[in-house]
Structures are given as C-alpha cells and as structure tokens.
Structure 1
Amino acid sequence: MKFEKELILDNLELRQLATRGGFYDLWNKSIKYFKTYEDAYEALEDIHDAQYFERKWSSYESYRMCYNRSLKKPKIKKR
C-alpha cells in the first residue's frame, strides 16, 4: 500500500478488499494516511467501487456497526 494523494493498492490488496476481513485489515492500515476514519473508509470504498462496480457498505455508519459487531463476536475454537 502506498499513499500519494490517494491510496495505491497492489494486486493482493485488491483481492483482499473483496472480503470483509480484508477490508477491515486494509482500513486499519490506511487510517494513518487520513485525517479521519471516515476519510480512510471512503478512500477504500471508492477503490472497491471502481474495482467491483458496487459499494461494500451503504455508509460509514453501516460499516462501523458491522465492524464493531465483529469485534464483539466470540471466537469459536475448533476441536
């Protein structure tokens, strides 16, 4: 990931962007380049929209609700 006035992702990161976990990871990495969390989200959402022709979430609030829910979800251990 590089940042030169906009995020530049490599092929692996573009594929990760399609998954929920990958989007979360890339968002966590990209927040250091932006003034607000919402700006980082919008930059990733713009890349996702250009790559897959759809938005992953309807808004930043929707994204935050899903992200917070995933943090609260207990991890199930496999035997």
Structure 2
Amino acid sequence: MTPVPGPVRSPEADGAAGIRIRAARKDAGLTQQGLAATVQVSRQTIIAMETGDYAPSVYLAIKVAKALRSSVEALWDPEFQGPP
C-alpha cells in the first residue's frame, strides 16, 4: 500500500491545535527555531504544525509536548479539559 502524497493534515479543520501549540510555545519562551532545534526538526515543520498543515507522528508529538512542558492531550485533543 502506497502512502498518500502530500502533507498529513491535522484533523481539526479550524486550526485549534495549532493555536494551542503556538500559545504553549510562546508561554515556554521558545521561538519556532528554538522549538525546532529542541525536538530536532526543521522550523518549517513547526510552522506546519502551528498552521494545521501537519499532524506529527506520536513520537514527535511526545517530544513537542515535553519541550513545551505540556501533554499531548492538552495540545492536540480538542476535548481535553485538564491542565495544560
């Protein structure tokens, strides 16, 4: 089975996950480049996550959440009601 070409879009069409990621990144005092370096991806990958154009792998989502001192659920689950 061949993977679908093109970016893997975030399941939230309104970009809410990207807004949460961007807010958590700013709260952590990180730039897009700083977060990218911390989780070992390109700045473009961080931009794509923040705009909702890219849904990361579980492994990358965990790395991002740890870098932002958050949880995967707080960043990507639209129904999450707990602390960030």
Give TM-score, length-normalised by structure 2: 0.29
Of structures 1 and 2, the one scoring higher in RCO (CA 8 A, sep 6+) is 2
Give TM-score, length-normalised by structure 1: 0.30
More helix by share: 1
More strand by share: 1
Q: Higher Cα Rg: structure 1 or 2?
A: 1
